[in-house]
Structures are given as structure tokens and as C-alpha cells.
Amino acid sequence: MELTTQTIKQRFTIIGNDHFLNRAIEKAVRVSPTDISVLVTGESGVGKESFPKIIHQLSHRKHNKYIAVNCGAIPEGTIDSELFGHEKGAFTGANSSRKGYFEVADGGTIFLDEVGELPLTTQVRLLRVLENGEFIKVGSSEVHKTNVRIVAATNLNMDSAIQKGKFREDLFYRLSTVEIKVPPLRDRKEDIHLLFRKFASDFAKKYNMPTIRLDENAQKLLTMYSWNGNVRQLRNVAEQLSVLEEKRNVSVSLLKSYLPELSSNLPAVINKNKDSSDFSNEREILYKILFDMKKDLNDLKKITKHLNSEESSIDYKSEEKNTLEKLYNNSSNSSDLIEINKKKVDFKSHEVSDDKYHFAEEISEEETLSIHDKELELIIKALERNGGKRKAAAKELGISERTLYRKIKQHDIEL
């Protein structure tokens, strides 16, 4: 099988020795003699279009039609006509009947690229073709038969698309009888420089110029870079360097200038499973602040009641004093949620004014705080602290500047 895999690579110009890439090629070779539907998955630019060609050329259908259809490039209003054909007068501009791809490719193979972009109505028609080989032209009631093998490809997360109702689950299972996953380029690090050298050699011949070469540091950067555009992006960079640069030896600094957003594309550890307690918008942040404040107020209420009891002396324990002082300072620093500047506590002299015992009681009676009022108060305080600068205020509030601007207009805040 290793010899067969190597032969397939040479025949279809596939570069690389990655284990997962070899496994994908092996699956394509094994499934080729059958009529099983195949779904090729992988990120954009990884080379998914090579696998339907392998499957078709190694099958008994290789002498019949092979048609590749980019489902995402055809307008929703005409895709049914393109795939299944239409009768004369079926819609405005249909001056004659037309055969669709499924009729033209009878006995051959149809490659449906970006199949996840198909409209739901078209998905129903496609499901019928997969189940019994039948289809109906647009504007017709006559049932036609076709013997077509379907190979589809997508860069979408199909599980997510199914959950959102954008793709039919039954169609997904019909298409993915066999699924071939093509690995992204960043997971094929040993193949990156190999691919670059191949592209550089091809462009040198095409443009009749010496081949560009990378120095050692540039090779390391090439391997470290996270290629979001995968093989397609790598090919574009090789072509740009070949055409635009007079020097044939490429340094790391020169290569950096051709790699967009280098800092954000270097490999990074990303936690995809974010904790559900993370707040996604400013309203949830406000809720958290209010809940935390309510807890602090309840603690403060307990301490003040304890201080006011007959069993407690004015010279209370240092632990309780420190707790009260901490809560008092926190509340003073969070003046955008509650004002307690009228309540005075002299911690040095251990003297506590009588009216301080009442404010915790008053606060507890008003624990049902208004989100609208507190939101307004937070915004005003943030703007005042930052001298009316929306960007700085938005950063302090933990929201975007656009959201802050919308809130200012909503509350009719004058700056």
C-alpha cells in the first residue's frame, strides 16, 4: 500500500509524507472501486479537491464524466436548475429546456464542493438522488433517473451546521458513508518546507528565473507559522517571493513581511471549552457585579447588627474590624454602584457614629436594584473618570467602544 500511495502522490501531484495525509490517500484508494458516497472534510486550502479526482480516476467510472460543482458559488435561485435542469418556461428567462449536471454526468462522478452551502430545499432534492437515483427538473413533474456517484467536500463543522438547522442530518449521513479528513498544513510541519521548495521550483521555471531559497532562520519561521490559508496560502507566498524579490536568498526578516498578522498567527494554546461562567456581554457583567455587591452588603449587615447588639462592646474584635474596614473601602472604591460617603467610621479611634447602623438596613431594603439605573450610573462614572474618553471608558467597563456609544445614545447621556 505504501508503494501505491507514493504512486498516487506522483500521479496527482500531492506533496508530503505526513501520516494523516497518507491515511487519507489510502482511504480514497480503497473506496474508489465502490459506488459509496464520500465526504471529504478539512479546512479551506488543504487540497480537498484532489481526493474526488483520485476516487474517480481509480473507479470503473473513470471513462465517463467527472463534473466539479462549487455549491457556494451558485446563487440560491438557480442552483436547482444547475444541478437538476429545467423545462422551458419554468421561470423567467427559461427560453428552452436544459439538462442539469446530474443528467449530464449519468454514469460518472459529481464532486459537490462546499456542499454545506446548499439551500435546504436543494438538500431535499439531493437526498432523493442519493436514496434512489431520482430527480425532477425545475418546472416539470416527470421523474428522471440517474446513475451518478457523489463525492462531496466541506470546510464547515457539520455537527454545528446540523444543530443550527442549516444542514439536514439525514443528508449528512447519506453523504458521509465514508469520511476522509484532510489535515491542515500546521499539523504537517515536516511537509511545509518541502511544499515551499516545490512551489519555488515551479515558479522559477514558469517565470524563467533562479529558484528562491530560505536561510535557516527563515525555514524555522516557515515551520512555526500557523498557515490559516493552508497550502493555498503557502503557494501564494512562494509565488510573491519569486516574482517580487530580486534577491534569491530569503532572510527571516524578509519572509516576515510576507506573512500577514504574524503575531496573531503564531501557534497559541486556545481553550475552546470556555467556562460557562464567562460573561459574553455587558449585561451579564452587570449582573455579576450586582450579585457580588449584594453578598458584600449582606456580610456588612451581619457585622453592623453584631456591633449594635447589647452583647458587643464598642471595642470589637480586630478581625471584625478588619472585615468591616475592607468592605467599607471596597464599597467606597465602587462608588458607581452604591454611595456610602455619608457614613463615617473612625477605625483609628474605634468610634462609630450612630447613623452608620442604619445605612446597611436601608440598603438591604433596596436589594432589588434597577439594572437600567445601575447601568446608567456605571457608564457615567466611567466616563467621568476617563475625562469623557469613550475608548478608555469602554475598556474599563469591559465592553466594546461601539456598545458604549450605543448605550450613550440609548440613555441620552450628555458628554
Q: Determine, yes or no, domain membership for 275.
A: no
Q: What global pTM score does this model have? A: 0.62
Query: Do 378 and 400 sit in the same domain of this protein?
Result: yes
Q: Return the pLDDT at 25.
A: 96
| 119-143: burial string, b at 16+ Cβ within 10 Å, e else | beebbebbbebbeeeebbbbbbeee
Q: State the pairing for strand pair 178-181/38-41.
A: parallel
Supply the CATH number for residue 124's domain.
Answer: 3.40.50.300
Last-in-domain residue among 162, 183, 204: 183
DSSP 333-369: HTTTT---TT--EETTTTEE-TTHHHHHHHHHHT-S-
Query: Do 98 and 174 sit in the same domain of this protein?
Result: yes
Query: Do 361 and 288 sit in the same domain of this protein?
Result: yes
Mean pLDDT for each 10-residue chunk of the chain (415 residues)? 77 93 95 96 95 96 96 92 92 89 96 96 96 94 95 96 96 96 95 96 95 94 94 96 92 92 48 43 64 73 67 48 53 43 41 43 47 78 82 81 79 72
Considering only CA atoms, which of 318, 317, 322 is closest in space to residue 299? 322
Last-in-domain residue among 234, 265, 296: 265
Q: Which three cell numbers stand for residue 36?
A: 459509496
Question: Do the beta carbons of residue 297 and residue 330 sit within 8 Å?
Answer: no
Query: Do 135 and 97 sit in the same domain of this protein?
Result: yes
Query: What CA–CA distances, in Å, run from 187 to 16, 21, 230, 316?
Result: 12, 10, 10, 64
Q: Return the pLDDT at 38.
A: 97
Query: Do 240 and 292 sit in the same domain of this protein?
Result: no
Query: Do 6 and 127 sit in the same domain of this protein?
Result: yes
Q: Determine, yes or no, domain membership for 407.
A: yes
Domain of residue 40: give its range: 2-183
Helix (H, G, I), strand (E, B) or coil at 40: strand
Q: List 152's β-bridge partners, or say none.
A: 39, 112
Neighbours of 94 (CB within 10 A): 15
Query: Do 177 and 194 sit in the same domain of this protein?
Result: no
Q: Determine, yes or no, domain membership for 270.
A: no
Q: Which residues contact 9 (CB under 8 A, 6 or more apart)?
A: 15, 16, 25
